Amino acid sequence: MAKTQEYPMSIEDSSSLLAKHLTKEIFEKLRDKRTVNDYTLAQAINSGVQNPDSGTGVYAGDEQSYEMFAPLFDPIIYEYHGHSKEDKHQSDLNPANLKAPNPDKEGKYILSTRIRVARNIQGLPLGPAIDKAKRENIEQDISNILCRSRGELAGTYYSLSNMSEADRLSLITDHFLFKAGDRFLQAAGLNQDWPSGRGIFHNTDKTFLVWINEEDQLRIISMQNGGDIQEVFTRLASAIDMLSSQVKFAYSDHLGYITSCPTNLGTAMRASVHIRLPNLSDNTQELEAIAKIYHLQIRGIHGEHSSSEDGVYDISNKRRLGITEVQCVQDMHDGVVALIKREQELAR
């Protein structure tokens, strides 16, 4: 694992939030600290040091990392989410408060909608600092709970350890499963003992899915074809409700749901559409300007750090902390309405 004893000069060429906020003074102040789970600054920054193209570049090993390494994490959290030390987080998962009619009723632009939240279990180390036995216990406990779900949420758990290569690759190609060997996660220590303890639960229609022990212990996902954002959110809210009644998730009044990557703190929610925007893809400056107004993030269609194909983008909310889940989805919905409007104008 990471052995950064000296200030990592190589980050000076990087445009990550790590490079921007890790001053030599902060490095000296934090370099010898260890959390209760023995997590160090060297581990927290290794992903950004090894991957200079990181946007953020830091990971927490446990809830205490956010306090112990606050001189580094706080400015990163402030710059990403606009959430300062005194601010409190708030939650609202009530679908009745969301105003998100389908922005594309004729099905011309939106291919699919997906909303996910990350969750980690209270009192356990996060993925970068957990050991094999604890990770496998989580897999056992959570998959048992999931396999007892009923109705629309009922389904089957598939452990990566027993999955055929063909099944694994087809789940990835169809956007249901995480990839193996992500270099950002690798350097953060999140791929240790791979594939043990990892897997995916899904219902028959693959509209409700849970990833176990990827970047976070749980990624709870609701997705379906088309642009019915309201239906996707409603299903997700009921799945979160079912799991939260049986598992205590790590949460703080200031940071909301605790996640290994600070970009996911708060709601830990990413609400996205895969959307075809051929005209805006020829005007990327305009696409980016609209994204900025509505707090949207633009990704390629094979996940983060992938590129767009045939004018199809993954458009999602960027802010996650200090705003509610309803507001996250509202950001995405309102931004998508604006993008479709502009796409139609350009097509004329």
What is the pattern of x (binds ligand ADP, CB under 6 A) and - over residues 187-226?
--------------------------------x---x---
- For residue 191, which of 200, 201, 181 has the smallest C-alpha distance? 181
Catalytic pick from 63, 139, 214, 215?
215
- For residue 339, which of 109, 90, 48, 91 has the smallest C-alpha distance? 109
Distance CA 4, CA 8 (A): 7
116: annotated active-site residue:
yes
Q: Which stretch binds ligand ILO (CB under 6 A): 47-55, 70-78, 229-237, 323-331?
A: 47-55
Look-up of token digits 């696409």: 287
- Tell me 180's DSSP state: S
187-226 residues in contact with ligand ILO (CB under 6 A) are 215
Closest distance to ligand ILO from the beta carbon of 246 (Å): 26
Angle at 230 between CA 229 and CA 233, to 5 degrees: 85
Catalytic pick from 135, 198, 270, 319?
270
Q: Give the one entry of ligand ILO, ligand ADP, none that residue 57 binds, where binding means its C-beta sits below a cut-off of 5 to 8 angstroms depending on kind.
A: ligand ILO
Q: Give the one entry of ligand ILO, ligand ADP, none that residue 270 binds, where binding means its C-beta sits below a cut-off of 5 to 8 angstroms depending on kind.
A: ligand ADP
Distance CA 329, CA 129 (A): 31
Q: Is 303 in the site for ligand ADP (CB under 6 A)?
A: yes
Distance CA 21, CA 78 (A): 11
First-to-last alpha carbon distance for the chain, in angstroms, is: 55
263: annotated active-site residue:
yes
Q: Is 304 in the site for ligand ILO (CB under 6 A)?
A: yes
Look-up of token digits 């970068």: 128
**Which of 118, 146 has the CB closer to ligand ADP?**
118
270: annotated active-site residue:
yes
| Number of residues assigned to the chain | 348
198: annotated active-site residue:
no
Residue count, binding to ligand ADP (CB under 6 A) = 17
Q: Which stretch binds ligand ADP (CB under 6 A): 33-41, 64-72, 75-83, 271-279?
A: 271-279
Residue 200, SS3 per DSSP: strand
Residue nearest to ligand ADP (CB): 303
SS (H, E, C) 42-73: HHHHHHHHHCCCCCCCCCCCCHHHHHHCHHHH
**Of the candidates 29, 31, 175, 183, which one interacts with ligand ADP according to CB under 6 A?**
175
Catalytic pick from 219, 276, 319, 342?
219
**Catalytic residue set:** 116, 215, 219, 261, 263, 270, 299, 304
